[in-house]
Structure 1
Amino acid sequence: MEMELEDAPGELVKVLDPISRYGANIQNVVHKREEKTPLGKVPVTIILEVKEEQRLEEIVDEIKEAGARIARVGEEEVVAKAVNLLVGDIVKTDIKDTVERLNSVQGARVSDLNLAVGKSGGESSARLIFEATSKESLKNVTDKLEEIAKEKDLLVIEPLE
């Protein structure tokens, strides 16, 4: 579900509350506060799992009542997943930039990130889990990870097949 929210305290909570009350499972929330839509609002994407179509309709209705503009409600089936490890000075080389660039790959996204920071802020490691709507998209995002790692002098450890 893609939506636009006012940039004000409590706006995100207003849309998360109905999702919780109707028993939907929130898998991911991307709140891009630093970006603005043409209407001057904050773009928010919520990946959720709802068992019943009726509950989804009720959630959408309540979110609209809360003042959010819903841009898209749709289903993208995840058909491929991969786990990669990244090692190096991940924090200093801007992990946010890395994730945003990976999430720009069509049909794929970083669904989970676990960062372990080394002593004195030096080397660290990150486990990245990718979800994709096709094997081609998964390959594209892992290729993008390799490209970024080379640029930032990071090591990528891929799982064994």
Structure 2
Amino acid sequence: MRARIEMELEDTPGQLVKVLKPVSRYGANIQNVVHKREEMTPLGRVPVTVIFEVKQEGRLQKILDEVKEAGAKITRVGEEEAAVRAVVLLVGDIIGTDVRDSLDRINSIKGAKVSDLNLAIGESDEEHSARVIIWATDKEKLQSAVLKLKEIAEEKNLLVIDPMG
């Protein structure tokens, strides 16, 4: 099961580590952490979102309990039991062809989202490679997102290496 926890943390050193420890302790695999320190809440707290996979449903509640004990104010919890993902590699002038446009076009597909993009910049201004991770609520939406990425890549003269997972 894929879970998403949105929370608020005190703006003091070590708070993020405290709330991530239970996720690790119960064998969950962290997919993404968004720590928005520049967007403090009205109470002066830091909004944080953690997305992770946990294999046993009972462990999610234990994680939530320990995250609260660590001092986090949980504002929202979501579960995506049927989430699927694909990992795709792109090669070419990714930056010069407006990576934001590419991401926005993929993210416009309802039920699919680029959750991670790791960019490696080569020796020239036009040599880049990127690992793109796309999550979707079902296989059909994932396939639509991957096809959209391939369409964009063809339009922008990028090489696509098909899904690896």
Regarding TM over 0.5, the answer is yes
Gaps of 5+ in 1: none
Q: Aligned runs of 1:10-159 on 2, under 5 Å?
A: 10-21=14-25, 23-33=26-36, 36=39, 39=42, 41-51=46-56, 53=58, 55-78=59-82, 80-91=84-95, 97=100, 101=104, 102=106, 105-111=109-115, 113-142=117-146, 145=149, 149=153, 153=156, 155-157=158-160, 159=162
RMSD (Å) for aligned C-alpha atoms? 3.6
Q: In structure 1, how many angstroms separate the alpha carbons of the residues matched to 2:120 and 2:66?
A: 38
1:3 paired to 2:6: yes
Maintained 8 Å contact 2:86/2:135? yes
Over the matched positions of the two proteins, sequence identity in percent amounts to 46
Three-state SS of the structure 2 residue aligned to 1:36 is coil
- CA offset at residue 149 of structure 1? 4.9
**Normalising to structure 1: TM-score of the pair?**
0.69
Contact persistence 1:88–1:123 (CA under 8 A): yes
* Alignment check: 8 A CA contact 1:113 1:126 kept: yes
Separation of aligned partners in 2, 1:64 and 1:14: 10
Q: What is the alpha-carbon distance in structure 2 between the residues aligned to residue 92 and residue 33 of structure 1?
A: 27
Residue-pair matches, total? 156
SS at match of 1:142: helix
AA of the residue aligned to 2:71: G
Give the strand-richer structure, 1 or 2.
2
TM-score by length of 2: 0.67
Shift of 1:60: 0.8
Query: Which range moves more in the overlay, 128-137 or 86-95?
Result: 86-95
More displaced, 58-67 or 29-38? 29-38
Q: Which digits, 9 at most, give the CA deviation of each residue in 1:15-59, with x for residues without a partner?
A: 1012222x2222312314267376463231321314250x32222
1:122-154 alpha-carbon deviations (Å, 9 max, x no partner): 311113232311134214433553576578x45
CA shift in 2, pair 1:146/1:71, >3 Å: farther
